[in-house]
Amino acid sequence: AQKITQTQPGMFVQEKEAVTLDCTYDTSDQSYGLFWYKQPSSGEMIFLIYQGSYDEQNATEGRYSLNFQKARKSANLVISASQLGDSAMYFCAMRERDSGSARQLTFGSGTQLTVLP
Amino acid sequence: EAGVVQSPRYKIIEKKQPVAFWCNPISGHNTLYWYRQNLGQGPELLIRYENEEAVDDSQLPKDRFSAERLKGVDSTLKIQPAELGDSAVYLCASSLRQGGHEQYFGPGTRLTVT
C-alpha cells in the first residue's frame, strides 16, 4: 500500500489566488513527521514546511500552511497569494518514528503546480 | 552557509559502463542520504549514513551499486555496470543527527544511460 498519496498529478492556479495541494498518508506509528518539499525545474528539493504528529496547531511558514487532519490522515499544503515562482513540482513526504530513531523520508508521487499570470 | 554539493550535474554513459557520483554534505551534518528519483516520481532512498556507517542500505541494489563515506564527510555512489533502467536523478541529502527536522538536498546528478 502507498504510504503517501498525492491524487493531483497537476494543478493550475491564477496568480494571487490560494491553492490547496492534497496529501494523504498511511502509518500505524503514533509518532511521525510530515513534510512538504518544492522541486523547481532546476531539480533541487527545497524544504517548505514540517508538521509533527503531536503538534496541535497547524504549521505555517510565510505563505505556506499545512492543513493537518490527523483523524483523516491528511496533510494538505495551502499556498496563499500564489506567485509565478511557485510553479514547480510539490512533494509530500513522511518520516515515521519521528523521535529520531529512523529518518527515512517516504515521498509521494508529486503534484505539478502551474501558476497562471 | 554552503549547501549540499553534488557533481557532476549531468552524466551520459553507455550501458555496461561504470559511473560515480560525488556528494559533499553541509558542514556538521552527520547524516547523509542517497536517493534515486525516476522521472515523474518522488525520490526513493538508496542508502543512509550516520557518520561513516551505512545504517540503512536495504534499498540499494548491491549487485551493481556501491557507496562509501570513508571519513564521515563526503560520499561517493557508484554503479558498475550501468543498465538502461538506471537512468534517473540521483539526489544527495544531509541532516543533523540531533535536532532539526528537514533534510537538505543537493541539486542532483541526472544520469542518462544509452
- Looking at beta carbons, which residues of chain B come within 8 Å of A110? 40-42
All residues of chain B having their beta carbon less than 8 Å from the beta carbon of residue A2 are: none
The 3-state DSSP composition of chain A as helix, strand, coil percent (nearest 5) reads 5, 50, 45
* pLDDT reading at A42 higher than 90: no
Q: What is the share, in percent, of chain A residues with pLDDT greater than 90?
A: 79
Contact B107 A42 (CB under 8 A): yes
**In this predicted model, what pLDDT tens digit does every residue of B67-112 receive, in sequence order?**
999 888 999 999 999 999 999 999 999 988 655 567 899 999 999 9
- What pLDDT score was predicted for residue B3? 92
More confident residue, B56 or B100: B56
User: What percent of chain B is modeled with pLDDT above 90?
Assistant: 74
Residue B16, Cα to own-chain centre: how many angstroms?
A: 20
Nearest CA in chain A to B97: A100
Lowest-confidence segment of A22-31, A58-67, A99-108 by average pLDDT: A99-108
Across chain A, what does the average pLDDT equal? 92
Render B3-28 in DSSP notation, one character per residue. Answer: --EEE-SEEEE-TT--EEEEEE--TT
Q: Do A93 and B42 touch (CB under 8 A)?
A: yes
In terms of CA atoms, which chain A residue is nearest residue B47? A104
Q: Which long-range contacts (CB under 8 A, 24 or more apart) does A23-27 make?
A: A23/A74, A23/A75, A23/A76, A23/A77, A23/A92, A23/A108, A24/A72, A24/A73, A24/A74, A24/A75, A25/A73, A25/A74, A25/A75, A25/A92, A25/A94, A26/A1, A26/A2, A26/A73, A27/A3, A27/A73, A27/A94, A27/A96
Burial of residue A8 (CB within 10 Å: 0-12, 13-18, 19+) is: middle
